[in-house]
Each structure stands twice: as C-alpha cells, then as structure tokens.
Chains A and B, each alone.
Chain A
Amino acid sequence: MPGSMHMSRLRNWFLSSPPAEYLITSLKELLIGALQQGPIPQHVAFVMDGNRRFARSHGIETVEGHNLGFEALARILEVCYKSGVKVVTIYAFSIENFKRSKFEVDALMEIAKVKLSQMAQHGDILDRYGARVDVLGRLDLLKPDVLEAVNKAVDMTSRNGDRVLNICFPYTSRDEITSAIRHTVDDYSTPIQQAPSTAHAARTPFSESHITQNIRAQTKSYDTNSDSESTSSSSAQEDEHPRNGRGIYESGSSFSSSTTLHLGPESKGSPHRPASESPLYISPETITRQTLNDHMLTKGTPPLDILVRTSGVERLSDFMLWQTHENTEIVFLEVMWPEFDLWHFLPVLLGWQRRISKARQDPDAEGDFAGEETDMRLRQGGKAKDI
C-alpha cells in the first residue's frame, strides 16, 4: 500500500508539473477540436454516480467526494460545451435521496446552494459558454434558502445563449411523467374560454339568408347583435320562436366553429345546444405523444442522444425514462464520477460519431433515421387494428 501511494504521488507530481500540464491541455484542445469535425450529439445526460463510493475507497469524507464530483462536472461540461453539445442534463438529486441520512442530505443541499450562488455571482462567466441553467424537478420539496439560490441562478443565466444545463434536482422520472399527465389533463379539462357567438361574428362567411333577414328586420338589428354576444340558453330559446332564420344561422355557424376547433364528440353531437349549457372541451383524442412531450420538464430540448451513467451501476434509477425510450444510446461506465474525464467520455463520443456517420452514409442499415417514419406507420397500423 505505501508503495502504491508513493507511486501515485510521484505520478501526480509529474502530471502537475507545468510542461506535462501544458501538453495534456493542448492534447485535450486538439481532441475537442477534432471531435467538432464530425457529428456532435445535441443532448447528453449524465448520472453522476459514485461520489460516495469514491470517497469511501479513497478514505476521504463523503462531502469531499461530492465536492470532487462537482469538479468532474465542471470538467465534463467544459468538454461538452466546447465540442458543441447544446443541452447537458445531469441527475443531481433524486426525490428518493431525501431518505438518506439527514447529515448527508443537508451537506448536499449546502453544496448545491454554494455552487448555485457561485454560478449566480459569475453569471457573466457562464455567459462565455452561452449556457443557461435550468433546474428541473419538484422545487416545492426544497428548503426556502436553497430555493432562493436556485431561482437566483436561473434568473442570472436566463439571458444566456442557446446552451442549456439542466439540473435535475429533486427529480424522479415517474414523478415527471405523472406531472406531465396531470398538466395535460388539466389543460384539457379547462373549457374553451371564448363565448362561441362572438367567434361566429368574426368567422362566419356572409350568408344570404342572414343578409335578407337583416334587410327585412332593419329595426331589430340592434337586438340580433346583443343576442349573438350573450350566450345564455334562455335568451336563445326565447328568440328562436319569433325568428326562424336566425335559428338556422346559429346552427350552421356553430357547426363550422366546432370543426375548426376539433371539439369533442359530445359538442359535435348537439350543435344546437349553446355553450353555457355544457362546457366545450378540446377532444382528448387529440392528445398525442407530442402533447405529453411538451408537458415534460425537458420540453423544447432536442431528443436525448447519449445517456452516461458512471460507477458501473446498470440501471436508470428513475432518470429520463420517457426521454431515453427511443434512440438514446445508454452507456454504463465502470469509472467513478469524480474520476470521470474526457478520456472516459471520448470512446463513447467516437463510437456515437462512427455509428451516426455510418447511418448517414447508408440509411437502410440503421433504423435511426428512418425510425420515426416506420414508427408513424406502425402507430397508424395499431390504431386501425384497435378500431
């Protein structure tokens, strides 16, 4: 053991000597520049696993392990952003992690707070990379002081460029999917706000019957206008008796508005019924995978290309379940997160580049690019079968 300690100290001394450091830095720069020449993943996710185990095996405190993990994160973010990755998503803290010892949770929260407030202080430095910080997850579970740091960091960097750093902080994927479902349901159970009759006035093409009716009943024209603005059922029913032509006009126009708005079957079935009697909703049949996609926390980001998990644990552990579901390459590495560096990430990137370039040369061989198309066909096939 002392021998290896001595060797590692000697190696560290050599690696930290200025010439060696200079050479390694230039080599890294060269490699990153080289990587840029090929296709670059748009969205990469990391599960930063192994901080605790690293600390245990190196005989340092857990908190210190997490600090080293943060350094590794800074290192890898530099690599990603310099080589052109647009979005980096990291799994910082799971909702399940609240079950760990209070001491460790508090320490993690403290690190997060310090780092986030430092990010906020150096808003202009993050700006150099054009990176914007986004915190995904159940912010309501955080303590107020941490939440304040989160908001400050997000605010400070919100004007930065198109690069994004997504920090998943109290996050689990099942929670995310559930929230997406809940928000979608919420959206679809809000009645369409506008009163249909005012919409008619703007949309209805001029109908002959209406014009003749207008000419006939010049004196009543004020009345008609007020009717079309009010949607109360009683007034519509009352008015139907004296003026027959208006009834036809009403039904025709409400039908046209319902087709343009994709209204639900119940509203289509009864075009005569005014809106206030049963509220109009958007039909749930219009919900698609894209609708749910747009309600996920990662909305607006490109699809996930690579997911890396360190420390040899080969599970997703409730991270990005929805997002990794299709063409994401999942990579499990043996290395502990604090040791993670360009050298471990490089083979992953090269393999990905190789596969993508092959697929672009020969689209038939790989499903990646034709995948969406076949998927669509399949879905339609599935639909037809269901019906």
Chain B
Amino acid sequence: MVSQRDRELLRGDLRARSKLSTADRESLLKSYLPEDLSRPERRRPHKTPIRSFFKSQLHHLAYALTHIIFGIIVRLLQAYHAVVDRVFAIVYHHHRTPELIRKDVRGLKRLPRHLSTILTLRKEDDALAVLMDEVAELAAWSSCAGIPQLSIYEKTGVLKSCIPALHQIITTKLASYYGSPDQQPNLHLYAPHHPVHGSTTNPGKSTLTMLLLSSTDGRETIVDLTKTLAEMSQNGKLSPEDITPELVDAEISDITTQPLTAGTDTVLKPEPDLLLVFSPYLKLDGYPPWQIRLTEMYCTGSRSHGVNGDGEAVEYQGYMRGLWHFAGAQMRFGR
C-alpha cells in the first residue's frame, strides 16, 4: 500500500502536470513493488529457508482461519435471511388473490414491461412437474401484477418440448387465481421457431405473452447467424462490411419476436427490463447474451452467499423482492 505521504506527492504531481521526473516517480514507487523477478535468485532460497517455511505455514493458517470466519459469517447471514424470508413469506402471501398481488405492486414507481427469469431444472424425479408448476405460478403472478411479457429461461430446453401441456397447466393455474374463464387474461405461449400456442385474442382482456428460452437460443443462435451470413457472403450476396450491430440486432430480435408477429398483433420487447435469477448466486448459465445489454439483474439468493449449485425455490416473496428492488424500493414487514 502506498503511504499517505507518497500518495500526496503523486497526486500533487498529477495536478501540476509532471513536476516530477520519470526517475523520481520510479524511486518513489520502487519500495512498493515486488522483488525484481529477473534478478538472479540463486542465493535467496538458501538464505531464508526457515523464514519462508514459516511464512508459508502462516499463510496456510491464515487461509484456514479466514475461511472459517467467512464460513461462520455466511452461515449466520444464511440463517438470518432464512428467518427474514419466512417472515416475508407469511406477511406477503398472495392467497391466490389477484387483488392482493395488485396491492403489493401498487406503490411501485415502475414495473418491468418485459420480465425474464432464469429457472433451474432440479435433479429429482418429478423435476419437470415442479418446474412447470413454477412457470405457471410465475405466469399467474406476472399477469396479476400487470406485467405483460414474461420470458422463462431454462437451460436444457425441456419446456419447449411440452408447450401444449404447459399451456394447459398455466390455464388451470390462472383459473385458480381468477376464477371463471372470462376473467382470465389472454395467454400466448411460444418459443423461438415454434408457433404461438394460445387462445384467440379477446380485445377486452389483458394479454400475457410468454416466451420460453433455452441455451440453444444463446451463443448457438449467434453461431447460426454467422453461418448464414458466411454462406451468403460466399455466394456473393453480402459483403462483410454490411454486417453492423443494427443488422445483427434486427436478426437476433426477429428470432424471439417472429412467431408472435405472424399470429397476433402484440409486439414483444426483445430486451428484458428485469432479469430475475432464482439461484444462490448470480450466474447467467447460458442465457442469450445479445439481449441483456441494459437488463437489470436481480438474484434472489445473492444476499446469503449460497454455495450449493441447485436453483432456489421460486417463491412469491422472492419474486416481489425483485420487483421492489427494480423499482428502487425497500420491502418492509407489514403490507
């Protein structure tokens, strides 16, 4: 660490535009640098074998100690947040009532127009059923909160293979929230390269558009685009200079919006406003890279320094915490 005195000297030098010469600055900094690696080191190890032994032992000890202390702090934080989360889960419970959910978001300054979530397929036998139920819950909460667009990222893409079944499950879930079918919102469910699955648009009701994403929509899509562009260029239909960020953006956005424009008149905003990550720490795990340039990210588990790699359970209080955080507000005990 550079001492206060030398720091002041260097800062003063910066303000006065090189008052010090190069040599002066070097001599000032020399004492803070590690040993010259190029200097012959034949004698050094022989000179202080005991000291370096003790030093490495000390470092081992310090490593163990810091990790023990850090581990204790992490456990305490986890315990604290587990309690807080339980309290929130009791205080903020949706009771499958759209009015309550609407009340929870009423005070918020802004809501995401396009909400995206990262979910994880667990390893148990009924993992798919659990995942589909989570997706259905998220759909219901979002439609109640007034978020019109929801995209679900799940790495393996298993959801894409059962869109009709998923649509059925979500409809059932919406029915349990809203009651009779004519109060339910319109639901459009689709995935890139898949047709839109959903009820006919009823103009009097709100619409929830849901997009399913998987890791093939990430880097793989950009690779596919490159392949097509390379082929076009080889056939002389395009010059490499024509490839601009605007072109790439238009093409990549089309992948996620095209099925929609074919069937309905709603337009999906290709870049999500908020990305909710249901995992112990913030990791994109193959999420499509192009679209998240300006997306705000919120990880439900990051406060507790979680270690296990499995995804966190999708809970209403975590979802609400993300929305409140996005609006720049603090959640309090008591509604």
Q: Which residue of B lies closest to A18 (CB)?
A: B3
The answer to whether B290 touches A314, judged by C-beta atoms less than 8 angstroms apart, is no
Interface string of B194-228 (1 = CB under 8 A from A): 00000000000000000000011011101101111
Contacts of A315 in B (CB 8 A): 293-297
The answer to whether B297 touches A314, judged by C-beta atoms less than 8 angstroms apart, is yes
Q: Among the listed stretches B126-134, B181-189, B240-248, which one makes contact with chain A, having 4 or more residues with CB under 8 Å of it? A: B240-248
Cβ-neighbour of A34 out of B29, B63, B286, B308 (below 8 A): B63
Question: Is residue B55 within 8 Å, beta carbon to beta carbon, of the partner chain?
Answer: yes
How distant is the Cα of A4 from the Cα of B330 in the complex, in angstroms? 27
How distant is the Cα of A188 from the Cα of B58 in the complex, in angstroms? 55
Question: Is residue A85 within 8 Å, beta carbon to beta carbon, of the partner chain?
Answer: no
How distant is the Cα of A30 from the Cα of B55 in the complex, in angstroms? 9
How distant is the Cα of A283 from the Cα of B282 in the complex, in angstroms? 38
Q: Which residue of B lies closest to A183 (CB)?
A: B240
Q: Among the listed stretches A208-216, A248-256, A348-356, which one makes contact with chain B, having 4 or more residues with CB under 8 Å of it? A: A348-356
Contacts of B240 in A (CB 8 A): 182-183, 185-186, 189
Question: Is residue B22 within 8 Å, beta carbon to beta carbon, of the partner chain?
Answer: yes
The answer to whether A188 touches B234, judged by C-beta atoms less than 8 angstroms apart, is yes
Q: A321-B293, A326-B285, A359-B309 are in contact. Are A185 and B58 (CB under 8 A)?
A: no
Closest CB-CB distance, B191 to chain A, in whole Å? 12
Closest CB-CB distance, B52 to chain A, in whole Å? 11
Closest CB-CB distance, B226 to chain A, in whole Å? 5
Q: Among the listed stretches B32-40, B102-110, B253-261, B313-321, which one makes contact with chain A, having 4 or more residues with CB under 8 Å of it? A: B32-40
Closest CB-CB distance, A47 to chain B, in whole Å? 13
| Interface size classification for chain A | 35 or more
The answer to whether B215 touches A314, judged by C-beta atoms less than 8 angstroms apart, is no
The answer to whether A321 touches B244, judged by C-beta atoms less than 8 angstroms apart, is no
The answer to whether B220 touches A382, judged by C-beta atoms less than 8 angstroms apart, is yes
Cβ-neighbour of B216 out of A15, A21, A382 (below 8 A): A382
Interface string of B63-93 (1 = CB under 8 A from A): 1011100110010000000000000000000
Q: Is the interface of B mostly helix, strand, loop or mixed?
A: helix
The answer to whether A281 touches B14, judged by C-beta atoms less than 8 angstroms apart, is no
| Interface size classification for chain B | 35 or more
Q: Which residue of B lies closest to A347 (CB)?
A: B70
How distant is the Cα of A130 from the Cα of B244 in the complex, in angstroms? 37
How distant is the Cα of A202 from the Cα of B3 in the complex, in angstroms? 68
The answer to whether B283 touches A375, judged by C-beta atoms less than 8 angstroms apart, is no
The answer to whether A128 touches B293, judged by C-beta atoms less than 8 angstroms apart, is no
Q: Taking each of A25, A82, A125, which has the highest tally of chain B beta carbons within 10 Å of its own beta carbon?
A: A125
Q: Which residue of B lies closest to A67 (CB)?
A: B14
The answer to whether A16 touches B4, judged by C-beta atoms less than 8 angstroms apart, is yes
Q: A284-B231, A321-B292, A325-B284 are in contact. Are A378 and B37 (CB under 8 A)?
A: no
Q: A177-B248, A382-B157 are in contact. Are A289 and B220 (CB under 8 A)?
A: yes
Closest CB-CB distance, A46 to chain B, in whole Å? 16
Q: Which residue of A lies closest to B248 (CB)?
A: A178
Contacts of A314 in B (CB 8 A): 296-298
Interface string of A302-322 (1 = CB under 8 A from B): 000000000000111110011
How distant is the Cα of A188 from the Cα of B231 in the complex, in angstroms? 8
The answer to whether A185 touches B229, judged by C-beta atoms less than 8 angstroms apart, is yes
Name 9 extra pairs, CB < 8 A, besides A128-B36, A129-B33, A181-B248: A21-B4, A114-B14, A181-B225, A181-B243, A184-B230, A316-B293, A350-B67, A359-B309, A378-B155
The 3 residue pairs across chains A and B that have the minimum distance between CB atoms: A16-B4, A34-B62, A366-B309
Interface residues of B (CB under 8 A from A): 1, 3-5, 7, 11, 14, 22, 25-26, 29, 32-38, 55, 58-60, 62-63, 65-67, 70-71, 74, 155-157, 215-216, 218-220, 222-223, 225-231, 233-234, 238, 240-241, 243-245, 248-249, 281-287, 289-290, 292-298, 305, 307-310
Interface residues of A (CB under 8 A from B): 12, 15-16, 18, 21, 24-25, 28, 30-31, 33-38, 67, 71, 75, 78, 82, 114, 118, 121-122, 125, 127-130, 161, 173-175, 177-178, 181-186, 188-189, 264, 281, 284-285, 287-289, 291-292, 314-318, 321-322, 324-332, 347, 350-351, 353-355, 358-359, 365-368, 375, 378-379, 382
